[in-house]
C-alpha cells in the first residue's frame, strides 16, 4: 500500500513538473580559477558597464515552476584593445543584495544564508582571463574568466556573441551553470526540489566615448 502511494505521488509530480529551463542551454565549462592580470590593457579604451546600458538576468527553477530574476546594481568595464575582442578584457562587480525575482518572498529567501548569504558575501565578481573565437557555434566567441560567487571562485567558459562598432561594444550570452559548483546547496522542499541548473542571461551594451 505504501509503495502504491509513492507511485501515485511520483506520477503526480511528473504530471505537474515544469520543463527544466537549463536543459537546452549551453553548459558553461567549470574548472579551477586561473591567474588574473590586474593591470589595465596597454593602450586600451575603457568602456563602462552599468545597469543603464546592460542587464544581468537569470532563470532558476523548482520541479513545479521556474522563476525569472535579475541583479539591479553592478559596475564593470571593458578594456578594449585595437578593436579586438581577443585582446580585450571584461570585469563586472555585482551587488548580491540587489537580486530581484518575480516573487517577493523568493527575493528575500535568496538573500539569506540558504542561497547568496548577502550579509557574508555582498559581492560577486567576474574577471575575464581569455577571449577566443568560437568555432563550434552558439556565438562568435568563447569567454573564459574567474567567477567568484558565494565565497567560491571558479574559472568558467561560455559562448557569447560580441559585436564591436564605432559606437559601442555589445556582448550577449545565455548559458547554464550548476549552482552546486558555487556551494549553493539548499535543496528546497521534498515535493518541490530546486533544480541544479541556473540559466545566466547577459546583455551588455557598453557605449564608446566619442
Higher pLDDT pick, 40 / 158: 158
Predicted local distance difference test score (pLDDT) of residue 30:
97
Question: Is residue 40 in a domain?
Answer: yes
Distance CA 199, CA 59 (A): 5
CATH number for position 98: 2.40.128.110
Q: Are 156 and 175 in contact (CB under 8 A)?
A: no
C-alpha cell at 196: 541544479
Chain mean pLDDT for the chain: 91
pLDDT by residue (tens digit) across 179-198?
Answer: 999 999 999 987 789 999 99
Q: Provide the domain limits for residue 186.
A: 18-207
Numbers of helices and strands, H then E, in the chain: 2, 14
How large is the average pLDDT for residues 37-50?
Answer: 84
Distance CA 201, CA 160 (A): 10
C-alpha cell at 30: 567549470
Predicted local distance difference test score (pLDDT) of residue 43:
74
Which residues partner with 123 through β-bridges? 95
pLDDT by residue (tens digit) across 68-97?
Answer: 999 999 999 999 999 999 999 999 999 999
The pTM score is 0.88
Phi, psi angle pair for 27, to nearest 5°: -90, 125
How many domains are contained in the chain? 1
Question: Is residue 44 in a domain?
Answer: yes
Q: Which of 202, 185, 172 lies closest to 58, judged by CA?
A: 202
Distance CA 151, CA 143 (A): 22
Predicted local distance difference test score (pLDDT) of residue 60:
96
- The SS3 call for residue 82 is coil
Predicted local distance difference test score (pLDDT) of residue 2:
58
Predicted local distance difference test score (pLDDT) of residue 6:
44
- What letter does residue 54 receive in the DSSP assignment? E
Question: Is residue 160 in a domain?
Answer: yes
Predicted local distance difference test score (pLDDT) of residue 1:
56
Question: Is residue 69 in a domain?
Answer: yes
Residue 122 has pLDDT above 60, yes or no: yes
Question: Is residue 8 in a domain?
Answer: no
Predicted local distance difference test score (pLDDT) of residue 17:
53
Q: Residue 14 CB: number of other CB atoms within 10 A?
A: 9
Q: Which of 2, 91, 78, 4 lies closest to 44, judged by CA?
A: 78
Predicted local distance difference test score (pLDDT) of residue 172:
98
- The SS3 call for residue 107 is helix
Question: Is residue 13 in a domain?
Answer: no
Residue 14 has pLDDT above 80, yes or no: no
Question: Is residue 12 in a domain?
Answer: no
Q: Which of 44, 52, 57 lies closest to 90, judged by CA?
A: 44
How large is the average pLDDT for residues 10-21?
Answer: 57
Does residue 4 come out as left (phi exceeding 0), alpha (psi in the -120 to 50 range) or beta? alpha
Residue 18 has pLDDT above 90, yes or no: no
Amino acid at each position: 500500500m505504501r509503495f502504491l502511494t509513492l507511485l501515485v505521488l511520483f506520477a503526480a509530480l511528473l504530471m505537474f513538473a515544469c520543463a527544466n529551463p537549463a536543459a537546452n542551454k549551453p553548459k558553461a565549462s567549470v574548472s579551477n580559477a586561473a591567474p588574473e592580470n590586474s593591470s589595465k590593457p596597454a593602450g586600451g579604451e575603457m568602456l563602462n558597464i552599468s545597469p543603464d546600458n546592460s542587464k544581468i538576468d537569470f532563470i532558476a527553477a523548482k520541479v513545479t515552476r521556474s522563476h525569472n530574476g535579475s541583479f539591479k546594481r553592478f559596475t564593470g568595464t571593458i578594456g578594449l584593445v585595437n578593436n579586438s575582442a581577443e585582446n580585450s578584457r571584461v570585469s563586472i562587480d555585482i551587488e548580491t543584495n540587489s537580486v530581484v525575482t518575480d516573487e517577493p518572498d523568493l527575493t528575500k529567501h535568496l538573500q539569506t544564508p540558504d542561497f547568496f548569504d548577502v550579509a557574508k558575501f555582498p559581492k560577486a565578481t567576474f574577471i575575464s582571463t581569455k577571449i577566443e573565437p568560437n568555432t563550434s557555434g552558439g556565438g562568435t566567441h568563447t569567454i573564459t574568466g574567474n567567477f567568484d560567487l558565494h565565497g567560491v571562485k571558479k574559472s568558467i567558459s561560455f559562448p557569447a556573441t560580441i559585436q564591436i562598432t564605432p559606437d559601442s561594444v555589445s556582448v550577449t550570452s545565455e548559458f547554464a551553470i550548476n549552482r552546486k559548483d558555487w556551494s549553493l546547496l539548499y535543496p528546497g522542499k521534498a515535493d518541490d526540489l530546486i533544480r541544479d541548473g541556473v540559466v545566466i542571461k547577459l546583455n551588455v551594451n557598453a557605449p564608446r566615448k566619442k
